[in-house]
Amino acid sequence: MTGRLPKLTIWRAIFAAIMVCALYATYLRVVYGLGGATNLSDRFPWGLWIAFDILCGVGLASGGFTLVAIVHIFNIERYKPVLRPAILTAFLGYSLVVVALLFDLGRPDRLWHPLVMWNPHSVMFEVAWCVTLYTTVLFLEFIPVVFEKLGWHKPLTWIHNISVPLMIAGVLLSTLHQSSLGSLYLIVPEKMYPLWYSPTLPAMFYISAIGVGLAMTIFESWHSSRAFGRALELPLLASMGRVLAVLMSAYLWLRFLDLSRRHVLDLLTVNRTETWLFLLEIALMAVPTVLLFQKSIRMSPGALYACSVMVVFGFIANRLNVGVTALEAGSGTNYVPKWSEVSITLAIVAAGFAIFRLVAQHFPIFEAHSPELAYPEVGEREEHRVAVG
């Protein structure tokens, strides 16, 4: 561990392989344009990069606003130990969404255009503004961690002074754009398969984002407890699992109500790819929901982890279904991502994991792991009062 060269492990080898492939894919994207790096077409203009990198990326990062709301607005202090990792995930998630956008936009050099050229009638315009502002908010919510590490007290106080409006803005911005990612698809009623097209898409996207935010928090805590050899906050995570179960039941019930009100339940008897992928999505969310209602499952770290992973995959299945599956038949195409699309997506996910690990190693992210005593320069009172982070 003391040597300069990092030890070669299987994970590092995989990571390097992913990055090399992504580098070549980036070359293709830059030199040969979107046509050279993707299987997108006029009839299928949004593929994996939108459906996964953007829709899932933003959703999986929603733990940030969920936990800020729980800990600081509802003042449920006992969730505090998992707040910082959630904020870090969110900040990383949003930064990586911006990276993904640079790949997906035809003219990445014009990423800033929506900030100056306005069209308030566009959902995308609203999403662009919310994501920009919220990434700024996340930066400000995260930066106290860095200040603490460096022992800079002044800027800590500055941020503390604006922390309440900042947190409220963060929750509101998230509410707006998490739901707006669903609203993006409201304009294609005739293209989208009826199992997914619904006027309630914005609400469904919002509720499921909160759910997956909680699931991701459990997921991270479990992984970091293993990676950094710290104790798992099991009672805390278990109670989060209970909230998740209630939330997901409400979500699934609303999905069912929505399908029945739109009289499309009979589509489930049709033997089509859409039906099976829909059932997969629902099963991935319903199974952990049922399991999480059992106390024995919630109190078992492995089972709790498995349930949170299932919810995460159910969420990903939902977003991929909305972004890809639901639109294939209606646009008369069959889209399968090119290897380079998959490669860039994998690289972004891998980078997310790697940066998270790196930051968690060097900054006070897990409070249980690094008690206040480790940072005597930040007094306990101040530590307590710095609401953000």
The footprint of other proteins (CB under 8 A) covers 30-36, 40-43, 45-46, 69, 72-75, 77, 104-108, 110-111, 113-114, 117-128, 164, 167-168, 171-172, 175-176, 179-180, 183-184, 186-191, 199, 202, 331
Burial (0-12, 13-18, 19+ Cβ within 10 Å), 177: buried
- The least CB distance from residue 193 to other proteins, in Å, is 13
Query: Which is nearer to other proteins, 43 or 272 (by Cβ)?
Result: 43
Q: How far is the CB of 163 from other proteins (least distance, A)?
A: 10
For other proteins, which is the closer residue by CB, 145 or 173? 173
Nearest approach in angstroms of CB 205 to other proteins is 11
What 8-state DSSP symbol labels residue 79? G
Closer residue to other proteins, CB minimum distance, 16 or 188? 188
What are the residues whose beta carbons fall under 8 Å from the beta carbon of 232, sequence distance 6 or more? 221, 222, 225, 301
Q: Which is nearer to other proteins, 80 or 230 (CB)?
A: 80
Torsion on CA atoms 96, 102, 104, 105, rounded to nearest 10 = 140
> Which CB sits closer to other proteins, 48 or 215?
48
Q: Least separation, in Å, of the C-beta of 269 and other proteins?
A: 22
Residues 270 and 329 sit within 8 Å (Cβ to Cβ) = no
Minimum CB–partner distance for residue 314 and other proteins (Å): 24
Total residues belonging to the chain:
389
CB nearer to other proteins: pick between 182 and 352: 182
Angstrom distance (rounded) from CA 294 to CA 160? 40
> In the complex, what is the shortest distance from the CB of residue 310 to other proteins, in angstroms, rounded to a whole number?
30
Nearer to other proteins, 190 or 266 (CB): 190
CB half-sphere exposure, 202, CA atoms < 13 A: 13
**d(Cα 362, Cα 243) in Å, to the nearest integer?**
31
Q: Which CA distances in Å does 374 have to 159, 180, 243, 360?
A: 22, 42, 33, 15
Q: Is the dihedral of CA 249, 250, 251, 256 positive or negative?
A: positive
The Cα–Cα gap between 157 and 172 comes to: 23
Helix, strand, or coil (residue 76): coil
> Chain-centre distance of CA 3, in angstroms?
35
DSSP state at residue 61: T
Contact present, 176 and 65 (Cβ < 8 Å): no
Nearer to other proteins, 105 or 303 (CB): 105
Minimum distance from residue 59 beta carbon to other proteins (Å): 18
Taking the complex as a whole, how short is the minimal distance between the CB of residue 216 and other proteins, in angstroms?
Answer: 22
The H-assigned helical ranges of 293-338 are 295-298, 301-320, 326-328
Least CB distance to other proteins at residue 245 (A)? 23
* Residue 5 or 31 having the CB closest to other proteins: 31
